[in-house]
Structure 1
Amino acid sequence: MSTDAVTREELHRRDVEMRFYRRSDGLFEVEGRLVDTKTHPFRRLLAEEDAPPGHHLHDITVRLVLDAELQVHAADARMSATPFKICPGAAAAMQRLVGLSIGTGWNKRVRELLGGVASCTHIVELLGPMATTVLQGIAPLRIVSTDDPEEDAQRRFRVDSCYAFAADREVVVRLLPRLQRDKAGTPI
């Protein structure tokens, strides 16, 4: 049924914002923020009174500092609003990410290091889209060097990384013809 045919009442809103920066020290920084709000009064678990409409249930900002090879140099989280007073303690686990590199296996490794009781579910949720934000943010810098023989690993990383970059599709055929393959995986 089309939503045009019915009325709707917004009950919950989640805003997720991602930003990527080049720093003056030669490093890069990605910041992700998650904010949850309700449009009506609600009582948090263990709370003694209702929170008013628009009050933040979660307001969590996660920051990673990376080099051009996407290795994490610093990681932290600020938890300005949380449902429980104990939640900000989860931010300390962010230090486990220092030394890791964003790339294949990133999300799996994040879940291994920060999943479950090790940290905060919402921090873990932010780190996936933060990684893709880094890749989008740094892409223009890497595209410039696509023809550089030293960048072969970067070219191979792109092939079969998404629908458009399938080894048998036009994008690879036109941009990376040496790496194109047919559907069976045979070089063309």
Structure 2
Amino acid sequence: MPLPPPAPRKHLHTRSITCTGYEREDGLWDIEATLTDVKTYSFPNHDRGEIKAGEPLHGMWIRITVDTDLLIHDAIAVTDHGPFTICGDIAPAYSRLIGLRIGKGFDKEVRTLFDGPHGCTHLRELLRPLATTAYQTIFPARERKRRKEASDVRPGILDTCYALRTEGEVVQREWPAFYTGPAPAVGTVIPEPSIATGGTSGE
């Protein structure tokens, strides 16, 4: 369902964030994120002279390489566009992501490494959607591995949102061992789990 019609208005600014996950041939995973900010009008800028309408005010990239356990093996950041010529000077600092693991505490570690003058506001903003994209990209492989090795281990994704609440129908279908809702009525047919062969729409 689309949003309801807006009040009369004028378009001024667009921020675009795109995150993409790739499975590599060597068994690792590349996760890339880019952020752009674009104005619909031109304006003067001390370092760039003028930033024209449609020209990015901000244009940043991050790529991380992770394994199936979400450990970061490589990280690189690039600033193509910034309001100041020195904006890109901080990009090499993001190699400090190497050795971190995406999961509980990751946001705190990112703040410790890159808050304030130790990082770029916009590159730091990219790290959260980058992390969730990594999880969503790798989740089917992680879930297949978990089901093969230890089917009695509770998946960490449970109870992280409304759809994945343990008393809900998705958990009843995909992870019946961890379902906490009412017992199904007699004669109810519960579909086979789909995660192992491609995942649910919630990935």
| Equivalent position of 2:41 in the other structure | 40
TM-score normalised over the length of structure 2: 0.79
CA shift, 1:80, in A, is 0.6
CA shift, 1:62, in A, is 0.4
**Aligned in 2, Cα 1:4/1:180: closer, same or farther, shift over 3 Å?**
closer
1:105-120 map, 5 Å: 105-120=105-120
Letter in 2 for 1:43: P
1:89-128 map, 5 Å: 89-128=89-128
1:42-121 map, 5 Å: 42-44=43-45, 46-47=46-47, 49-121=49-121
TM-score normalised over the length of structure 1: 0.85
Q: Say whether residues 1:172 and 2:176 are aligned partners.
A: no
| Equivalent position of 1:129 in the other structure | 129
Residues 30-81 of structure 1, C-alpha deviations (whole Å, 9 max, x = no match):
000001111101123x347332111111110001001111100011101011
Residues 12 and 39 in structure 2, CA contact (< 8 A), matched pair in contact too:
yes
Letter in 1 for 2:107: N
Residues 112-168 of structure 1, C-alpha deviations (whole Å, 9 max, x = no match):
211111110111111100111111111222343453243655x43122222222222
Residues 21 and 133 in structure 2, CA contact (< 8 A), matched pair in contact too:
yes
Letter in 2 for 1:17: T
**Aligned in 2, Cα 1:5/1:91: closer, same or farther, shift over 3 Å?**
closer
Distance 2:90 2:160 in 1: 32
Most deviating of 158-167 and 23-32: 158-167
Distance 2:6 2:56 in 1: 31
| Equivalent position of 1:186 in the other structure | none
**SS of structure 2 residue aligned to 1:10:** coil
**SS of structure 2 residue aligned to 1:158:** coil
Q: What is the aligned-residue RMSD (CA, Å)?
A: 2.1
Count of residues paired in the alignment: 179
Most deviating of 91-100 and 25-34: 91-100
- The runs of at least 4 aligned residues of structure 1 exceeding 4 Å deviation read none
Consecutive unaligned residues of structure 1, counting only runs of 5 or more, are 183-188
Distance 1:150 1:82 in 2: 48
Distance 2:178 2:138 in 1: 22
Consecutive unaligned residues of structure 2, counting only runs of 5 or more, are 182-203
Distance 1:18 1:36 in 2: 15
| Equivalent position of 1:31 in the other structure | 32
Letter in 1 for 2:20: R
Distance 2:73 2:151 in 1: 22
Q: Give percent identity, aligned residues only.
A: 37
**SS of structure 1 residue aligned to 2:155:** helix
